[in-house]
Amino acid sequence: MAIVEVTELEKTFNPESPEPIRVLDDLNLEVEEGEFVALMGPSGSGKTTLLNLIAGLDSPTHGSIRVGDQIISDLSESELAKWRTRNVGFVFQFYNLLPVLTAYENVELPLLLLPMTAGERRERVKNAMEIVDLADRMSHRPGKLSGGQCQRVGIARAIVTDPTIVVCDEPTGALDAKSAENALDLLDQLRSELGKTIIMVTHDPHAAGRAQRIIHLEKGRIVPADDRLRAASVRR
């Protein structure tokens, strides 16, 4: 069974205004458990909106979203917040680390929202930092880490709660080529060794090529491969 199921999804901004903006239109999508999926498309195609809806950061105008056993499109804002804490790990383009906190403290932050003892939190953080190979940098603040190391801390923070899905918004966009490759290797390791389901928005064809499946969006709809090839042929 798919771990993510999106059905007849529509997202319209300013729906009551004279000029509503429909970003997603009758979109259907399934993502299998343990799958690494890349979302691609031009600016304004709806890929980040789709990612945010799957992650429970926003609610659809119409349609349903199921993640695991939960239909998240039926949840209130407060219910979504609680659901996100346990079920979604976030990896951001610019890391979103708090500069005044150490790497350990940044990774620990999501756990502070859960009913855990300090000892349980310590064990979770240690395990996550070992997975990203930064156990020797736990006391360093972000200003003392490289961009690649900061992103690895961000990935450790994303997995420390053992989430159902990991969502990544341009995770290599702020990295040099070597650091980007290392981050992609780590994401692939999370999938292959830990069975994590990863959904990644990217503009980078190389990064997308590391995923098991690439989904292209244009004007709020998923574009089948055959249609993309025909469109490219017409442009040439």
Q: Any idea what the CATH number is for the domain that residue 225 is in?
A: 3.40.50.300
181 to each of 104, 130, 169, 187, how far by Cα in Å?
A: 24, 19, 16, 10
Q: Is the pLDDT of residue 53 over 70?
A: yes
Q: Can you give the pTM of this predicted structure?
A: 0.92
Is there a domain that residue 212 lies in? yes
Amino acid 17: pLDDT: 78
Residue 139 lies in a domain: no
Strand order from edge to edge, sheet including 2-13:
21-32, 2-13, 62-67, 70-71
Over range 44-63, report the average pLDDT: 96
Question: Residues 155-183: pLDDT tens digits?
Answer: 999 999 999 999 999 999 999 999 999 99
173 in a structural domain: yes
- How many independent structural domains does the chain possess? 1
pLDDT of residue 20: 86
For residues 11 and 233, the model is more confident at 11
Evaluate whether residue 148 is within a structural domain. no
- Asked if residue 104 belongs to a domain, the reply is no
Cα–chain center distance at 130: 21
In a domain, residue 128? The reply is no
Instruction: Identify the residue with better confidence: 121 or 20.
Output: 121
Q: Where are the beta strands (DSSP E) in the chain?
A: 2-13, 21-32, 36-40, 62-67, 70-71, 88-91, 165-169, 197-201, 213-218, 221-222
Task: For residue 227, give every residue at least 6 positions away whose Cβ sits within 8 Å of its Cβ, in sequence order, or none.
Answer: none
pLDDT at position 26 is 94
Cα dist from 172 to 15, 56, 147, whole Å:
34, 22, 10
Q: Does residue 136 sit within a domain?
A: no
Does 214 fall in a domain? yes
Better-scored residue on pLDDT, 221 or 228: 221
The per-residue pLDDT for range 27-42, each reduced to its tens digit, is 999 999 999 999 999 9
Domain that holds residue 188: 2-93+163-235
